[in-house]
Amino acid sequence: MKIGIFDSGLGGLIAMRAVVETLPTYDYVYIGDTANLPYGSRSREKILQYTEKCIDYLFREHDCKIVLMACNTAAIAALRYLQTEYLPKNYPDRRVLGIIIPTIEAALETGAQDIGLIATVSTTNSKVYEKELQKINPNIKISSVPAPLLVPLIEYDGDKYAKDIIKDYLAKLPPVKVLVLGCTHYPMYKDLFRKMLPDTKVISQDEILPEKVADYLARHDEIRTKLSHGGTKTFIFTDITPNYVATACRLFGHKIAFTKTEL
């Protein structure tokens, strides 16, 4: 059986590349819901509906034992429902892992009391990072900034505008010890964030996910032992355009072959 990776679009390919580098022998299937991108500016109901369709497709058609939900926006809208209702009812022996809790753990491990978050509008509006962090440590102060322009900038190769736009977003953030990049796409600009905030620890999800997945699999024999080791990688998108193809190759790091599917 395979490891599925789900994102609203192409940003999750950065996380997938990192996971594959760390755990290269498994079989992977990536689905990016490019037909419905961006999730970050949609309603919770829509995000939930799209996410369930994609996850269901990975389980039903691609024999995934476990799905890594790389998308922050989707995890916030749908992970709890998927884990507590959808899986027990439909696939009780399979798993969906989110990215929010591993990111929060990484932020807490720094010991910082003032943490910044930059993410999509949907993620910052949900206040989920704030709630989860303060559940563990009520003294932590979180400042969040929505950055709706960064996803289209990355999807449409707008790198030359990135510095100015990021500078503008960072101006809205008070000084913080730690900055969480709370969106699949933002690791593309992690070096830029680090350069612009030399005294801040920038948490990039592509750097934490591989270790968290390896750790999870090491602790869950019932999942790990069912995974096949063919080293294959399948890439599926719900819509394909020449721009998506070019961006996907850029984010994954080399040329990849795509399949289009209607869900």
**Paired tokens of 84:** 């507590």
Q: Which is nearer to ligand DGL, 78 or 227 (CB)?
A: 78
**Is 64 among the residues known to form the active site?**
no
Decide: is 124 part of the binding site for ligand DGL (CB under 6 A).
no
Report the residue from 6, 19, 38, 238 that binds ligand DGL according to the rule CB under 6 A: 38
Round to whole Å and give the CA distance between 207 and 250.
Answer: 18
Residue 70-89 contact track with ligand DGL, rule CB under 6 A, x = bound: -xxx----------------
Min dist. Cβ of residue 94 to ligand DGL (A): 22
Round to whole Å and give the CA distance between 69 and 53.
Answer: 13
Report the residue from 26, 28, 39, 252 that binds ligand DGL according to the rule CB under 6 A: 39
Round to whole Å and give the CA distance between 205 and 212.
Answer: 10
Round to whole Å and give the CA distance between 111 and 204.
Answer: 17
Q: Which is nearer to ligand DGL, 91 or 210 (CB)?
A: 210
DSSP structure string for 167-204: HHHHTTSPP-SEEEEESTTGGGGHHHHHHH-TTSEEEE
Which residues are bridge partners to 6 per DSSP? 31, 69
**Is 71 among the residues known to form the active site?**
yes
Report the residue from 123, 126, 144, 247 that binds ligand DGL according to the rule CB under 6 A: 123
Q: Is the peptide bond before 38 cis (omega within 30 degrees of 0)?
A: yes
Comparing every residue's Cβ against ligand DGL, the nearest one is 40
Contact residues for ligand DGL, defined by CB under 6 A: 7-9, 11, 37-40, 71-73, 120, 123, 151, 183-185
